[in-house]
Amino acid sequence: MASAMYCQHTIDSLQRYLHIGNDVPVFFDTTQPVDMELGKRVLTPAVHLPPSPCPSPTPATVNGASSSAPATKNVRKSKPKQQKSKKGAPATAPAKVPATPVPPVFAVIKRTIKNKSLRRLDECLFALAYCGRELPTDEERHLVFEALPELLSGPRELFAFLSFYTRLATEAGYAGFGHGLRCAITRWYDKHSALELAEMIALSNGAFGWTHADVIRKTHLKLECPVKRSIIDAATKRASQQPTLPLKKLDGEATMDAALVRYLELIAIRSVASEGEVFELIKRHGSITYNLLPLIYRRLYTVWMALYPHLSYRELLDAILPMQDFDVPMIIDAREAYVANLTKRRKALEQDQIHPIVVHGIKTLYDGGKRYPLMIKEREQHSNLLERKPQAAVSEALQISLEHSFSHHPKTGAWYYITLDLRSAHQKKHVLRNSVVTCFEASVLLAFSIFKREKHVAVEMFTDDVKTLQPVNFRTEMSWSEALNHCKQLLVAKTKVALSAPISKAQAKKQKVDVFITITDSLIRVNPNRIPPWRAMLDYRKTMHSNLSRYICVSLCHHKPSLKFDEIAMKVGGILEVIGYSQSTQPTTMPEECDLAHRLQLQQLRAALTVSQVRFGHSGSIRDVSKTDWNSHNGDNGTTQLNGTLGRGTSETAETDSSGTGGMRDALEGPGSAPNDIIHLKRRVGLFSGVALIVGTMIGSGIFVSPSGLLVRTGSIGVSFIIWMACGLLSLLGALAYAELGTMNTSSGAEWAYFMDAFGAWPAFLFSWVSTLVLKPSQMAIICLSFAQYAVEAFVYECDPPLSVVKMVAILAIDSAIGTGNREQTAGIPEATIARPETHARCKMPFL
């Protein structure tokens, strides 16, 4: 009995971790990275569950077959010699090897991954990688590898799984790929058709530190299909070694397979040479071409107008923010075309089930002339841009879309009791990670969206009396603007909030409630004792005979958990703390292995608070998976970090970014350096280093050395002056070239990155070594010798300075420069990280 209770408690903790990423009922923003240590604590007891008292929550399956049906183990066995009868038929059938039972932990993970309402897959993929490493027997780990092609639906999921798997393997002292994982990856690539494989590889920029080229080289991928093999070979070769586009035969037939042609066409988009070719490529390939286009064409309003028909409604909404930076809405034709597409395609808004939070965030940013809700990122974005004046026609179209987004979401049929904290100070207080949406707007929007969708909703507000709640009195015919103005009239200067007040009032009135929702700016402010209202919930359930009632409290701007869930509160259950402001565009379908109470809690959580990840933007392609997956856009960003956010249906390069409200926003900018890159240099320029950089760039050391030598060799002041001016012009051209290269290629590495893009890996490799061994030391020597020469001459009057003294000063200058560089490079890095160089990311050279 004790073992069964322990087993059930472990499975409950596992389900909670997979769904909300925590072992206590606290739901964080989806931009939070995966807590691997927490995952290990939750998964370790689940992986080593006792086999007998804990049956699997789902029917054991092997390769999709039920455990009730006999199945054979995928292990080579020596075939026993069969005895034949006189007619040649076998006398007895060979005995079948019993199937390996599916471990309970793997069954739960498998069912959860298939759940379409899952907010993100990060925790599930980490749990899958952990099972592939830590399950007790080889047969159980083999089951995990067999299921990988089925469970990993997209390239980004594959890269995230490999990231978690290699980190766990590195911690265990072995980072190689075994035979089971290699075969699983081979089957994953082989399940795609040749055309899907071509588009997937061509449109990929990688994620989580992995690219398709890395995976192919790591696994020595070999596919049976010759067409797929040709695509794999083309993807791993340098640009100079790739095949060219096919010519046509006399009879009109192509000389190359269509899938390989498709791959080469998509690769060729990156080097398009004219605006006419851009229009032809958009017409032929749709909106997936946008991220592949050179940067110069992404500012043209004609390109945007050609893209409008190919964008989904969500991407059309997101597009207005980058277009605003390029002044596209100022062009009358582009503005009218955009408004017309927003208006005539409003049915797509209903089909995509875009939540009002998304539309409201985009409209608020556009009306404020901003691009990002984060203040720091917005300051960097608009530091060199003029103020943008929003166009009235675009604002009006976005407002109509916002009003239209309130009434098309599926109903849950639950009874809601929503309590708002409408303090006047909340009009100036912004929600977490958002500098444009206030707590007041977020509270009203969350409550009004539920009121417009559901049939049984009671909305009230706290007052200056802790026991008194005042009705808000929304009306079904109200628009969003009317609801906001109505709540502004109800604002009070001071409120006294008690989390148990709505529960007590509903209990006193014998009012049926399935979900209590309390929305405030900070739970720690209104509830300093940090005790969840478990006593009031227990009394209400006993009085109303409703064991399925749930309580959800929302903290809009406080970034840390505010409630303490002790053993009694966990036993009572049904209380959840939500941190942040988010939305959901996915229908809610709960896993079958969850009990009814757990299903209702999570279902009402998603329906009421729309707790699914907010696609606040990603850096990557506007469309970088196959066109059949174009509309399955919601799901990273980047975030995330090495173990950043990963959602359902995202593109491969999509990173979850908490600094925007559009799933396509950073995608329309193109890929760039981000803090979550696997190789990333800290961008830091202090006062001293900044002044030294400017002075060194403007003056340098050559101005002190070259004039005298030039005058001696030319013998003429005029000729030396002309030569000096010509060299200055040449230097100016070089500076302009570097400025253009720096704006087109923002990745770190300077000339190495430019050589890599232009000429390939080997020239970049050779340049890096020549620069390290020849160029940089020579520059340092010239600068230090010049400094030493002039520094010593200041103290010597009638004779040349001693050569030995000049050399000593130069050596001291070199030593000082090297020491300063080392201190700046290691600044801010923990000592443990400096002492263990193997913890740093390894740069994967494509030519090795």
Quick one: which of 636, 642, 635 has its CA closest to 675?
642
Q: Is the pLDDT of residue 673 over 70?
A: no
Query: Based on the number of CB atoms within 10 Å of its own CB, is 748 exposed (0-12), middle (13-18) or buried (19 or more)?
Result: middle
Quick one: which of 199, 354, 357, 348 has its CA closest to 269?
199
Phi, psi dihedral angles at 409 (to 5 degrees)? -85, 150
Sequence-distant (≥ 6) Cβ neighbours of residue 138 within 8 angstroms? none
Whole-number Å distance between alpha carbons of 516 and 546: 13
pTM exceeds 0.85 for this model:
no
Residues 187-191 have a mean pLDDT of 93
The pLDDT score that the predictor gives to residue 205 is 79
The pLDDT score that the predictor gives to residue 496 is 92
Dihedral sign (CA 462, 466, 470, 471): positive
H-helix or E-strand spanning residue 520: strand 515-520
Quick one: which of 178, 153, 160, 199 has its CA closest to 36?
160
Which one is predicted more confidently, 127 or 683? 127
Domain boundaries, the chain: 2-64+99-241, 272-354+356-406+621-630+639-678, 409-609, 695-839
Phi, psi dihedral angles at 438 (to 5 degrees)? -90, 165
H-helix or E-strand spanning residue 61: strand 61-62
As a whole number, the mean pLDDT across the chain is: 75
Interstrand relation of 575-579 and 550-555 (parallel, antiparallel or unpaired): parallel
Q: Which stretches does DSSP call E strand in 409-504? A: 415-420, 456-462, 469-471
Interstrand relation of 515-520 and 469-471 (parallel, antiparallel or unpaired): unpaired
Whole-number Å distance between alpha carbons of 525 and 506: 24
Whether 576 and 563 have beta carbons less than 8 Å apart is answered as no
Q: How far is CA 487 from CA 358, 402, 490, in A?
A: 21, 18, 5
The pLDDT score that the predictor gives to residue 178 is 87
Q: How far is CA 244 from CA 268, 596, 757, in A?
A: 10, 59, 18
Q: Is the pLDDT of residue 679 over 70?
A: no
Whole-number Å distance between alpha carbons of 749 and 745: 10
Q: With respect to CATH, is domain 409-609 assigned 3.40.50.410?
A: yes
Quick one: which of 308, 335, 442 has its CA closest to 397?
335
The pLDDT score that the predictor gives to residue 507 is 94
The pLDDT score that the predictor gives to residue 821 is 53
The percentage of residues in the chain with a pLDDT greater than 90, rounded to a whole number, is 27
Q: Which two tokens stand for residue 365?
A: 């940013």
Model confidence pLDDT, tens digit, residues 697-749: 655 555 556 677 777 778 888 888 888 888 888 888 888 887 888 777 766 77
Whole-number Å distance between alpha carbons of 204 and 196: 12
Determine how many CB atoms are found less than 10 A away from the CB of residue 196: 17
Whole-number Å distance between alpha carbons of 503 and 670: 50
Q: Between vectors from CA 683 to CA 672 and to CA 787, what angle results, nearest 5°?
A: 125
Whole-number Å distance between alpha carbons of 103 and 130: 13
Dihedral sign (CA 535, 536, 541, 544): positive
The pLDDT score that the predictor gives to residue 423 is 93
Q: Is the pLDDT of residue 645 over 60?
A: no
